[in-house]
């Protein structure tokens, strides 16, 4: 039954998933298509070197790195900000809409009328969210894989795969956090605000801890720092990624347990 519930959730979202796949693939292709003009502009590196340290840190520009190389360019233009942002919007939006949104609309009791425990319903919805993130991530990965030889990005296949795994895990953590908050409290606004705020803080801590020494101790709780911010040039941190994945499981399990222990909001 939980499998059927997860499949049903995916079926209901199939048009949205298709639109996300097309949008992400189109954006990735557009960014990659710009690369040949950057590759032939060596002065671009000199321009980047003059950027304020804050900007270079926030956008994951590696010290001494070459932004006119394929990996350096894609790291900065995709993996430092925009690609994680897109997947976070997808994950947090779906996670908040799934339980908190359904409860706000008075439809959650219909979902929980299935002959299975509440916690199983949360796990099924979490699995549906994970599948959506995986499908959209594969669409972006496949686009880069196809366009790489056409524009000469020269991306390392292993680092490319790892980069998308890292972004997917980041999205999964924040999406399951939205799902967990929505299971614990009947507020869609809170289910959006908590993971969105956590993502903003985690991103800023990761980008600024080298410049603001007092932030350095907090980097250990930033999912962005744990995964790594320049995956195509330096790879991802496998241990840190596993920590973020474990944290995602914890917040989903916590939300599932809290849903079983509270009264549902009725319209």
Please give the full DSSP string across 241-265, using - where no structure is assigned.
Answer: HHHHHHHHHHHHHHHHHHHHTSPPP
Helices and strands in the chain: count of H runs, count of E runs: 14, 0
The yes-or-no verdict on residue 116 having pLDDT over 80 is no
**What is the DSSP code string of 143-203?**
HHHHHHHHHT----HHHHHHHHHHHHHHHHHHHHHHHHHHHHSS-HHHHHHHHHHHHHHHH
- Nearest-angstrom CA–CA distance, 51 and 43: 13
pLDDT tens per residue, range 69-112: 899 889 888 998 899 999 999 999 999 988 777 676 666 666 66
- Nearest-angstrom CA–CA distance, 173 and 179: 10
* Most confident segment among 46-60, 111-125, 188-202: 188-202
Instruction: Tell me phi and psi for residue 112, to 5 degrees.
Output: -85, 5
Instruction: Tell me phi and psi for residue 116, to 5 degrees.
Output: -150, 160
- Nearest-angstrom CA–CA distance, 2 and 170: 24
Assign residue 233 a region: left if phi > 0, alpha if psi is -120 to 50, beta otherwise?
A: alpha
C-alpha distances in Å from residue 176, one per residue of 102, 125, 161, 245: 16, 9, 22, 10
Instruction: Tell me phi and psi for residue 41, to 5 degrees.
Output: -125, 80
Q: How many CB atoms lie within 10 A of CB 114?
A: 16
C-alpha distances in Å from residue 128, one per residue of 2, 11, 211: 10, 10, 39
pLDDT tens per residue, range 195-240: 999 999 999 998 888 778 788 889 899 999 999 888 998 889 999 9
Higher pLDDT, 49 or 82: 82
- Name the pLDDT band for 254 (thresholds 50, 70, 90): very high
| H/E element, 214 | none
């Amino acid at each position: 039954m939980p499998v059927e519930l997860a499949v049903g959730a995916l079926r209901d979202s199939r048009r949205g998933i298709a639109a996300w796949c097309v949008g992400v693939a189109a954006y990735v292709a557009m960014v990659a298509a710009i690369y040949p003009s950057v590759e032939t502009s060596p002065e671009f590196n000199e321009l980047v070197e003059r950027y304020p340290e804050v900007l270079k840190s926030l956008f994951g520009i590696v010290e001494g790195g070459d932004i006119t190389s394929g990996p350096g360019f894609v790291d900065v233009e995709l993996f430092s900000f925009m690609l994680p942002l897109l997947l976070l919007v997808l994950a947090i939006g779906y996670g908040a809409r799934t339980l908190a949104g359904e409860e706000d609309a008075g439809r959650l009791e219909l979902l929980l009328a299935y002959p299975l425990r509440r916690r199983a319903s949360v796990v099924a919805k979490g699995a549906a969210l994970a599948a959506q993130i995986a499908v959209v991530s594969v669409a972006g990965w496949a686009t880069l894989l196809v366009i790489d030889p056409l524009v000469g990005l020269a991306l390392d296949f292993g680092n490319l795969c790892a980069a998308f795994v890292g972004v997917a895990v980041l999205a999964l953590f924040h999406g399951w956090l939205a799902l967990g908050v929505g299971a614990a409290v009947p507020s869609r606004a809170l289910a959006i605000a908590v993971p969105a705020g956590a993502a903003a803080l985690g991103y800023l801590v990761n980008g600024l801890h080298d410049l603001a020494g007092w932030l350095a101790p907090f980097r250990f709780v930033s999912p962005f720092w744990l995964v790594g911010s320049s995956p195509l040039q330096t790879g991802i941190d496998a241990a840190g990624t596993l920590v973020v994945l474990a944290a995602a499981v914890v917040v989903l399990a916590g939300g599932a347990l809290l849903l079983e222990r509270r009264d549902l909001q009725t319209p």
